[in-house]
Amino acid sequence: MTGAAATSAPAGPSTGYLPRILRILEERPAAGLGLFGIFYGVGIAGHLADATRPLMLAITPWFLLLMGLLALATLLGAGGRGGGRRFWTWAGVTFLATWALEVLGVHTGIVFGEYVYGRGLGAPVLGVPPLIGFNWVLVCLGVLIWIAPAGERRGVPRPVLAVGAALLATGFDWVMEPVAIELGYWSWAGGAIPLQNYVAWFGIALGASLGWLYALPKAVRTATRLPAWHVVAQLFFFAALRVGLVGG
């Protein structure tokens, strides 16, 4: 009877279709990068074509939310190996801290400089779309996954890794800024991007990186690579539009 019950028992969560798909994305780098590449490639083509750009702009908040959740899929899933309390604490603190700093920046100009958000990233709350905090988490997480595990295996000190991750995040913003302005995500007073913005990006990303490196166990820090593929796809998206839409 026990044997029959075991034979007829339904498949557990680990053998379902979604966990299988997530496992493929996780274990085969080309699959995860290819999936993000397809979605963001369609986004590039849609933004470059005048006829489809309004549609692309309208769905941008939902698209970024969907891609972000996909990047976190192995952590969000029931069998996620990295979905520990410390990770979600780090993600929550990073989300709230970056969103609060953006609110402070929008209303005072003392963080990033004088700027305002448009409607391109969704309805703002206190002047800042909540999606901004979500994307801060994804960018910081993505660059950390790229740089930290390999660096730790080579014995690179964690503060040095944090500086490297902060530099990568700041470089990501440098590529993104002209495109975000062109698409109406936000705008700067006087039209020029201040150096203060990049200094703030570096400082905030450095704080988030130090928190991730010192607060999370290695098993959690190496639990998924999907955010790394996601940030690469986003970087390619903004780089392509910077050349094709903004002109360099």
Largest separation between any pair of C-alpha atoms in the chain = 77
pLDDT exceeds 90 at position 78 = no
pLDDT of amino acid 10: 43
Name the nearest CA neighbour of 65 among 39, 104, 33, 37.
39
| CA distance linking residue 149 with residue 156, whole number of Å | 10
pLDDT exceeds 90 at position 85 = no
**Tokens encoding 94:** 């990073």
Around Cβ 204, how many Cβ atoms within 10 Å? 22
Question: To the nearest whole number, what is the mean pLDDT of the chain?
Answer: 86
Ramachandran angles phi, psi of 186, nearest 5°: -155, 170
pLDDT of amino acid 7: 43
**Tokens encoding 72:** 């976190």
| CA distance linking residue 100 with residue 207, whole number of Å | 14
**Tokens encoding 165:** 């991750």
Q: What is the pLDDT of residues 199-238, one digit of tens each?
A: 999 999 999 999 999 987 675 666 678 888 899 999 999 9
| CA distance linking residue 23 with residue 32, whole number of Å | 10
What pTM value is reported for the model? 0.86
pLDDT band per the 50, 70, 90 thresholds, residue 67? very high
pLDDT of amino acid 219: 59
Q: What is the pLDDT of residues 25-47, one digit of tens each?
A: 767 767 778 888 899 999 999 99
